[in-house]
Amino acid sequence: MDTLTPEQRSERMSRVRSKDTKPELLVRRIVHGMGFRYRLHRRELPGTPDLVFPKRGKIIFVHGCFWHRHGTCKYTRWPKSKMEFWKPKLEENHRRDKANQKALRRMGWQIMVVWECQIGDLERLVMKIQKFLEDED
């Protein structure tokens, strides 16, 4: 049972952002601080990637664990109500992410996904991002 009224739930859900989220802004600050330059939300690419590094042929997606179904992560829980609505929606998000990444790889892009839960260990995240962007693979 939902503890919020339909109006309260609607108002809360309207605050959920698809871009410029706190994790995304943090990743952008990290990458910019390393001296890398990027393009944001390239709509002509499958999945509208969060950060695109055209000269390097690399892309970084910043995903929320709940919305994009991050495996067994503690943030990847199922809602307690309206499962007939949420289950197909969240599963479709996950399926679409995989299809978009496959299409991008076919186009020659290298992809990194930064998950919301990885933001907690900044030192490790910085090293992971730096390795991804500096590798010439």
CATH number assigned to the domain comprising residue 35: 3.40.960.10
CA distances 8 to 1, 4, 16, 59, Å, are: 14, 6, 13, 36
In a domain, 59, yes or no: yes
User: According to the model, what pLDDT value does residue 62 have?
Assistant: 96
User: According to the model, what pLDDT value does residue 24 have?
Assistant: 95
| Structural domain span for residue 32 | 18-134
User: According to the model, what pLDDT value does residue 28 have?
Assistant: 96
In a domain, 10, yes or no: no
Beta strand 58-63 pairing with 51-53: antiparallel
In a domain, 8, yes or no: no
Contact 60, 110 (CB under 8 A): no
User: According to the model, what pLDDT value does residue 59 have?
Assistant: 98
User: According to the model, what pLDDT value does residue 10 have?
Assistant: 60
In a domain, 93, yes or no: yes
User: According to the model, what pLDDT value does residue 81 have?
Assistant: 81
User: According to the model, what pLDDT value does residue 85 have?
Assistant: 87
In a domain, 11, yes or no: no
Q: What is the largest CA-CA distance in the chain?
A: 52
Round to whole Å and give the CA distance between 87 and 9: 18
CA distances 32 to 35, 53, 121, Å, are: 5, 12, 18
In a domain, 74, yes or no: yes
Question: Any idea which residue has 């500096």 for tokens?
Answer: 134
In a domain, 6, yes or no: no
Question: Global pTM?
Answer: 0.85
In a domain, 5, yes or no: no
Domain count for the chain, please give it: 1
Q: Which residues of the chain have pLDDT under 70?
A: 1-2, 4, 6, 9-18, 137
User: According to the model, what pLDDT value does residue 9 have?
Assistant: 59
pLDDT in tens, 3-37: 767 677 566 655 566 677 899 999 999 999 999 99
